[in-house]
Structure 1
Amino acid sequence: MTIRRLCAVLRVSGKTELLLVILFAAGFAALPVLALLPSLWGFTVAWAVTYVADEALHSRAPGFVRRLATLQLSRTMRFAVRTVMLLALADRTDAPDAVLITGLAVLSAHFLLVMMYSALHHAIRRRRVLPVIVRNLDMSGIDIPAHPPAWLYRRFLRKLLHLDLPAHAGLIVALATGTWYAAYAGYALTIGAATVALAALLGQFRAVRRMPRRDAVIGEVNRQLAAYRPEVALYFSFAAVSRDFMYQVNMWIETLEQLDRRPVIVLRERASFRFLARTRIPVVCVPKADDLAELDLSGVQVVLYPGNAGKNVHMLRVAEAKHVFIGHGDSDKLASSNRVSKVYDEIWVAGKAGRDRYQRVRHAISDGAIVEVGRPQLAPVRSHAEHVPGPVPVVLYAPTWEGWSDDDCHTSLIPMGVPLIEGLLAENVRIIYKPHPLTGKRSPEAAAADRTIRELLRGDEEKVAEAARTRLQEIRARLDEMSGRHEGDDAQQLRDARVPDGDGTAEWQELRDEWHRIFWASRSGARHHVILEQLPTLYECFNQADLLVSDVSSVVADFVASLKPYVLTNAQDLSDEEFRAAYTTAGGAYLLDRACTRLPEILRSVRAPHHDPMAAQRRTLKEYVLGPDRPTSMERFNTAVNDLADRSTAERAEDLLAPLA
């Protein structure tokens, strides 16, 4: 318990990271003591420990390292502390004045070169920021210099500061042996390498002076869009892009690719490309509103919005297009019936439940503005009839996140997440834990509960065979390549942008299917799983599960498609009647009280299917929430797009003829 409390205080994820923090702190605390004693060998050990622990923490606990910077213990300051302490040790061990003065001059010059390199790096990066980033459009017609070599550009501060190692090591060897040639040799290597690096970066700076101007970049993008002639735009913005918000876009990509109309995706944050899934659809990222206004989207007839965000107004002002809120999943949360949705021409929901939900927001949304289109994304979800249960029931726990405020906080993690997992561990079940991508974004309590659950389940993950691990990594690398992800900056992405040579859909799907097949097969002996990455997908986790435990969210509405039993957490301990009246999806759910006393009874529905009294309610609820099976959701969605696009075209024609009447 003490270790867990320390991990929570320091905000590190486990015992290994905690040990690194302790070594790091002990090493730095020992440096001044051992320098003043003086103790050369003790100082050398502490010096080495600080280097190794520092580097390990950067990869194992980057959040802790960032917090050190807020305490003015940045990486540069830590390197400076080592340098000062080493010179203090040399002085205390009576090193010659010439060695000390030369060392002080060289190491000071090294820091000066680091400052100059940082300024030059910043200037290059600033020049390589372009007004538009694209994917799947041919930008070969514009001349953009190549990205500087990774060894010069990426993690440059980390590399430059480490050039002090020759000087430090040379001085330590000199102090140990009493011969000072090693010190001078180390000094020469440090200053020489830093000077060469600065000169090399200066050459890259001269190259970026040829970067195209803003007007030229936007003009070329507009020429490519004019050739493509987009008719439907999916527009997405979210201010906080440090986490994976792009699931809200990715869930619509396959649907957009099957439309009769030509689609384009418009993004507003540069970091969005990090999480964008593979698509052959042209993608345009325009961070600034002024640049968006100059983008030629005059042919777009329908704009689809998967999220409500402030920057939506920059697209909503395009009066010629029809604007539709499609959301990123139907749920009983207030966000799925927001009065703000009145700004859109239409709101598309999955089934009648969505229509009724908006109608409860009185005087806000007219019934005619609501269109039921189903959920095309749910095609991969297998029904209960196709599912073959294993000898041990599989329970998927997929809690929602804590929301932007306490008013819309539906997560069960804070009040009952840990007791729920402990209760499941006491039963003979297999647990798949897949938290919402934004878990812990706002609430430290939710983040702490999430960490505790991961610790409870982590010990049961069996080691994956090396062959399976290697193949999974190979597939992920190919999927990333097909997605267009690379290490280059904005300018490099624009330079590399091309129209896809082939469809690639078949290969993409085959690789994803193979990845999932190997993943589950390689872990068939594992008792429990913690799923934090984009793969395996949520719907693949649905297909593995016999029972879902979740909160009020679109996850539950989507799981209804499988007709398998599911559990809704009733963390407020409302009466069953109140809870079912408040939340539509509770109509086919088992309800779990905060103390989880009903858990053994609920698990009977999995172990003995004939004891599943909610099965009939789930069948009725499925059509109410998701719409009928025929016509398919994809057909209904495509029809809705076509109808609205035709209406937009007709209204534009009327507007053009009106002045002539």
Structure 2
Amino acid sequence: MTFRWWCGVLRVRGKTDLFLVLLFAAGFAALPVFALMPSLWGFAVASAVSYAVDEVLHTRSPAFVRRLAALQLTRTMRFAVRTVMLLALADRMNAPAAVLVAALAVLSAHFTLVILYTAVHHAIRRRRTLPVVVRNLDMSGAGVPQSPPAFLYRRFLRKLLHLDVPAHAGLLVALAVGTWAPAGVGFVLTAGLSAAAVVALLGQLRRARRMPSGDEVIGEVNRQLAGYRPEVALYFSFASVSRDFMYQVNMWIETLEQLDRRPLIILRERASFRYLGRTRIPVVCVPKADDVAQLELPELRVVLYPGNAGKNVHMLRVAEAKHVFIGHGDSDKLASSNRVSKVYDEIWVAGRAGRDRYQRVRHAISDEAIVEVGRPQLSSIRLHADQVPGPLPTVLYAPTWEGWSDDDCHTSLIPMGVTLVERLLAENVRVVYKPHPLTGKRSRAAAEADRAVRALLRADNERRDAEWAEAAVAAARPRLAEIQARLGELSGRLAGDDAQQTREARVPEAGGEAEWQALRAEWHRIFWESRGPARHNVVLGQLPTLYECFDQADILISDVSSVVADFVASLKPYVLTNANDLPDEDFRAAYTTAGGAYLLDRSCARLPEILDSVRAPLHDPMASERRVLKDYVLGPDRPTSMERFNAAVNALAERSAAEQDERLGDGQRVAVGVSDEAA
């Protein structure tokens, strides 16, 4: 508990990172001690350790580095401390006054140049900040200049501060050998390189002055949209945490690409743009509301919203289009039947369960506004009958997150997650652990439980054939990284800042889809084969996907969330956690998806009995209930979900067009009437 507490306080992930933090602290604490003793070699070692470990922590533990910055121990401050300690050491070792003055002058000039470089960098970045970021439209005519070279522009402070190393090293060598030429060489290198860097960046500032104005860029976007003529838009906003919420957009991309109508994706946060999956659909990221109003979309008929967010109002004011809340999954949470949904023209749900859920919010949503469209994303999920069991039952534990407050906390991680995983390991099963992307973002208790679960799985993997498993994982890692890099290229994630992304934006070439699908299939095959049939897996990134984890699982254990509703499509056994130990009848009455679930209380006493549904499939009393529930929650198999969703889009688009024609006709008749009256 003490170890976990320290990891939580210092924002580090494990023993190695904690050791590095302690080594880092020891190195810095030793600097004033060795400077005042004085001990040249002790200072040199402590300084080298502080430099090296500082860099490693930036890569391994960025959360710890941010914690230091919050305490005003920024990177610049740490470099300044090393400089002051170096000058103190030189003074204690009786360095000549001329050398001390030169060192102070050069290092002061270096920090001054760092400040100047930062100011120029900020000026360039402001000029290169466009009102929109674009993908899959030809923006070559916008006139956006090339971004500065990466070595000058990206992580510039990290590189520039390190230019003090020649001066530090030269002075230490001079103190060791008793001659001051090495110090002079180091001083010249530090001052010369710093000045050269500033001059080089000033040249880039001159190029940045040729950036087009915001109005010119939006004008070019509108010209490209006029040629494309979008009819359906997916609109998404989720403020500062949009990176973690981008699954809400990515899950709809393939569905949008199969529509009869021309789709467009509109994002509102720059951070979200970087985490958008591969798509051939044009994408426009517009952070400011005033710029959203400047987009010209005369043929837009339907706007789809996967999430409820305050910035939705900036699009809802477009009266010419119909606005639809499609959500990002059907669940029994209160958020899935929010009264706010009344602002939309229609609400699309998967099946009858979604309709009934909204109807329970009395006097809020009319029945005519609810349309059942199925879940097109689930078409690829492997059915129970097609599952080939491995040597050990595979349990997918996918808890939801802690929610925005403790009042709506549905996660099982805090009250029973550790106990559950301990009991699973005692039952000799393979565990695939996939927590919600936001797990631990708000609640420290959830973060600690998440770390404890990962530690249990890691320890059990080590107990099993660890040497063979680690070798297989290590052997697969280079190819997996290679595939992911290529998937990134196919996704349109280009190098450079947002302006460079827009400059390089082009209409995608045909044929990339086949390579994309083949590479994703290869990635998943290599990933699972390298892990073997018995190794526990912790899944945190975008790959492997949730639905690939479904296909690996023999049974799901989860909380009240849309994950359960989606898993119902497989007809495999699943378990709902009943962390509050409600009576079974009350729990099933409260949550629709509990109708086909095995229920697990906080003590997990029923777990061995539940796992019999996998070990002995003939003893699976909930199988028939799951078949009934699938139709209720997700709708019928025929027509397919994609056919129903596409038909709903077409019907609403036609209605929107008819109403707009009617409004135009009324306007013309009013104009004629006024003209006749004037005559």
Give your verdict on TM over 0.5: yes
1:599 is aligned, of 599, 603, 607, to: 607
3-state SS of paired residue (2:235): strand
Corresponding residue for residue 80 of structure 1: 80
**Deviation (angstroms), 1:465:** 5.0
8 Å CA contact 2:390–2:533 kept in 1: the answer is no
Match of 2:510 among 479, 499, 502: 502
Structure 1 moving runs of 4+ over 6 Å: none
SS of 2:234's partner is strand
Instruction: Give the distance between the partners of 1:422 and 1:14, measured in 2 at CA.
Output: 20
Structure 1 residues 133-142 or 632-641, which shifts more? 133-142
Verify the 8 A CA contact 1:230 1:262 in the aligned structure 2: yes
What amino acid maps onto 1:658 in structure 2?
Answer: D
* Unmatched segments (≥5 aa) in structure 1: none
Counterpart of 1:558, as a letter, is D
Using the alignment, how far apart are the partners of 1:505 and 1:632 within structure 2?
22
Alignment partner, residue 643 of structure 1 = 651
Match of 1:59 in 2: 59
Match of 2:379 in 1: 379
The equivalent residue for 1:520 is 528
Distance in 2 (alpha carbons) for counterparts of 1:293 and 1:8:
44
User: Contact between 1:131 and 1:286, CA under 8 Å: does it hold in 2?
Assistant: yes
Contact 1:568 1:592 in 2 (8 A): yes
Match of 1:559 in 2: 567
The answer to whether the Cα contact below 8 Å between 2:243 and 2:271 also exists between their aligned partners in 1 is no
- What amino acid sits opposite 1:414 in the alignment? I
2:676 matched residue in structure 1? none
1:372 and 1:598 map into 2 onto residues whose CA distance is: 36
Matched, 1:492 2:500: yes
Where does residue 448 of structure 1 map in the other structure?
Answer: 448
Would you say the 8 A contact 1:576–1:591 is kept in 2?
yes
The one-letter amino acid paired with 1:557 is: A
Report the CA distance between 1:525 and its aligned residue.
5.2
What is the CA-CA distance between 1:52 and the residue it aligns to? 1.1
- The match for 1:659 is 667
Deviates more, 1:285-294 or 1:498-507: 498-507
- Aligned equivalents of 2:604, 2:238: Cα separation in 1: 36
8 A contact 1:231–1:299 mirrored in 2: yes
Cα distance change, pair 467–280 in 1 and its aligned pair in 2 (3 A): same
Aligned positions of 1:332-481 closer than 5 A: 332-459=332-459, 460=461, 462-463=469-470, 464-481=472-489
- 1:126 maps to 126
Q: What RMSD over aligned residues (CA atoms) do the two structures have, in Å?
A: 1.0
Within the candidate set 585, 593, 608, 1:577 is matched to: 585
Letter in 2 for 1:80: A
Give SS of 1:141's match.
Answer: helix
Q: Deviations over 1:573-626 (max 9, x none)?
A: 101011000000000001110111111111111111111111110000000000
Amino acid at match of 1:614: M
Amino acid at match of 1:570: N
SS in 1 for 2:400: coil
1:466 is displaced (CA, Å) by: 4.8
- SS across alignment from 1:476: helix
Q: Is the 8 A contact 1:241 1:269 kept in 2?
A: no
Secondary structure, aligned partner of 1:330: coil
Deviations 1:309-368 (A, max 9, x none): 000000000011000000000000011100000000000000000000000000000000
Q: In structure 1, what is the equivalent of residue 176 of structure 2?
A: 176
Inter-partner Cα distance in structure 2 for 1:178 and 1:55: 31
In structure 1, distance between residues paired with 2:225 and 2:5: 55
Shift of 1:407: 2.3
Contact preservation (8 Å) 1:243, 1:438? no
**Residue type matched to 2:317 in 1?**
R
Give the secondary-structure state (helix, strand or coil) at the position aligned to 1:513. Answer: helix
Structure 2 Cα separation of the partners of residues 124 and 451 of structure 1 = 41
CA shift at 1:30, angstroms? Answer: 1.0
Query: What SS does the corresponding residue of 1:184 show, helix, strand or coil?
Result: helix
The answer to whether the 8 A contact 2:242-2:269 is kept is no
Farther-moved stretch of structure 1 (482-491 vs 188-197): 482-491
Match of 1:620 in 2: 628
CA–CA distance in 2 between the matches of 1:104 and 1:374? 71
User: Cα deviations across residues 131-188 of structure 1 (Å, max 9, x unaligned)?
Assistant: 0111000011121110100000111000000000000001111111111101111011
Q: Is the 8 A contact 1:400 1:412 kept in 2?
A: yes
Q: How many Å apart are 1:458 and its aligned residue?
A: 2.4
Distance across 2 between alignment mates of 1:456 and 1:428: 13
Q: Secondary structure of 2:357's partner?
A: helix
Which residue does the alignment assign to 1:208? 208
Report SS of the residue matched to 1:130.
coil
Q: Which whole-Å CA distance do the structure 1 matches of 2:417 and 2:274 have between them?
A: 30
Equivalent pair of 1:394/1:430 in contact (CA under 8 Å):
yes
SS of 1:284's equivalent?
A: strand
